[in-house]
Amino acid sequence: MRTYDDPQIFAHRTVLVRSDLNVPMDEGTITDRGRILASAGTIRTLAEAGARVIVMSHLGRPKGAPDPQFSLHPLAPELAEAIDRDVAFAADTVGDEATTKAAALGDGEVLLLENLRFNPGETSKDDDERQAFAAQLAELADDFVSDGFGVVHRKQASVYDIAALLPHYAGSLVQAEVEVSDRLLNSPQAPFTVVLGGSKVSDKLGVIDNLIDRADNLLIGGGMVFTFLAALGHDIGSSLVETDRIDDVKDYLKRAEDGGADIILPTDIVMAASFAADAQNWVRPVAELESTPAGTDGLGLDIGPESAGTYAEVISASNTVFWNGPMGVFEFPAFAAGTKAVAAALTNGSDSETTRLTVVGGGDSAAAVRTLGFADDEFGHISTGGGASLEYLESKTLPGLEALA
C-alpha cells in the first residue's frame, strides 16, 4: 500500500481526498459526527501543507440522481469546524460548478463536492461507466489520497478506478485502520477476545469463521444470540432467529469444543412484551425464556445483568479486544445496560501506558459508545469501517486497498 511520509509533497498541488462522511442523519440533523472528526486529520494536514484539497464522499443510498435528503451541503460547516478552516461547497461533482471552484482553489483551501452517488457512474457495475466517471473526477486534481476506510471494500469509481488515473496514496486514517486490523489478525496479545452482537448472525459468519481459531474468547450478544440459543435447543419466545443459519452455528459450537475460541453465551436475557422503549420487560435465565407474564409472548432485547457482568469480567481480563455489534437495543434506555457494560469494560486499562488494545469495530458499536456517553479517546481505536472492518477481518481482498498497491 503506497503511503506518504511528508505531506509537503502535495504543496501547491490539487489533491482529491476520498473521505467517508457518511454520517447518520435524523431529519437533516447529524446524530453522530464521528466520521467527520475521524476524516478531519488528513484533510487538515494536507491543507496546512499547502495542498489545494478537494474532498469527495457519499451520504446514504441515493439512486444515482440528486436527492436533497442526501445532500452533503449540511456537512460543509461541520467539516469546516472540524478542520478549523473554511470549506467551500460545490453543488455537483464533475459539472461546471465543481470544475470552476476546483480551478479557483488556492494553496491551503478546501472544497467539498456534492454526494458522489448522485452520479450513477460512482456505483455502476459497468466498468466503462464507472471508469468514465473516475476520469472526470481525475481531471479536477493532480493526486489522489484514499482516506475513506468505510468504503475500501467497494469497487467504486472514487475508491477503486480513480487510483489507476492519478498518483495515489493511503491517507492517515486508512493507514491507522489497516495497522490496527493487521494487529488483530496477525499479532494479537493474548488473551484475545472477540465480542459480536447486532441483529443477524448471518452478518458475522465470515468473521466468526476466520477468528474462531485465532481468538481465545468469542462473546455473543444482540439479536444474533438467539440463533445460538436455538441451536442449543432453547425456547426463545418471539425473539429474532435465523433458522437457516442454525446448522452454521452448530458447526461453530463444535469447532469451539474441538479447540477453537471459547464461545460464551448469555446466561440470562432481558425479555420484553414488544419492541418499544416503554415495553414491559423482565429478566429470565436462558433456560426459562418462555416463562413470561400472563398474556405476553416475550422477545429478547438485551443480555441480562448476570451475563453483562460475566462479559465485562472476560473483557477486562483480555489484552486484545475487538467488538462489533451492540448487545441489545441500546437506543432504548431500558435495553442498553448490556451494551454499556461491554463498552465500559473496553475502556478499562486502555491508555497510552499499556499495550492493551481495545477496538470498537465501527457501525452501530461506534454510535452506541457515543450515545451512551463514552469519549472516543477512552478506547484504543474506534473504527470508521463497519462492513469494511468486518471484511478485512474475514481476510477478504478489499478493492480500495488493492488499488493502492
The position carrying cell 429470565 is 284
Grid coordinates representing 212 are: 474462531
Residue tagged active-site, from 18, 35, 155, 284: 35
Residues annotated in a binding site: 20-22, 35, 58-61, 117, 154, 204, 300, 331, 362-365
Grid coordinates representing 243 are: 433458522
Residues annotated in a binding site for substrate: 20-22, 35, 58-61, 117, 154
Rounded-to-integer distance, Cα 375 and Cα 369, Å: 8
Q: Compute the residue count for the chain.
A: 405
Helices (H), 187-321: 205-211, 225-231, 246-257, 305-316
254 is catalytic: no
Residue tagged active-site, from 13, 44, 200, 214: 200
Residue 173: closest CA among 370, 391, 20: 20
Residues annotated in a binding site for (2R)-3-phosphoglycerate: 35, 117, 154
155 is catalytic: no
Residue tagged active-site, from 41, 108, 309, 387: 387
Rounded-to-integer distance, Cα 120 and Cα 64, Å: 4
Residues annotated in a binding site for ATP: 204, 300, 331, 362-365
DSSP strand pairing (268-272 vs 299-303)? antiparallel
200 is catalytic: yes
Rounded-to-integer distance, Cα 359 and Cα 257, Å: 26
Which residues, 6+ apart, have CB-to-CB distance to 29 below 8 Å?
none
Residue tagged active-site, from 363, 380, 385, 400: 363
Cα dihedral value 240, 230, 197, 395, nearest 10:
-120
How many beta carbons lie within 10 A of that of residue 138, not counting itself?
21
Could you list the active site residues? Answer: 35, 200, 363, 387
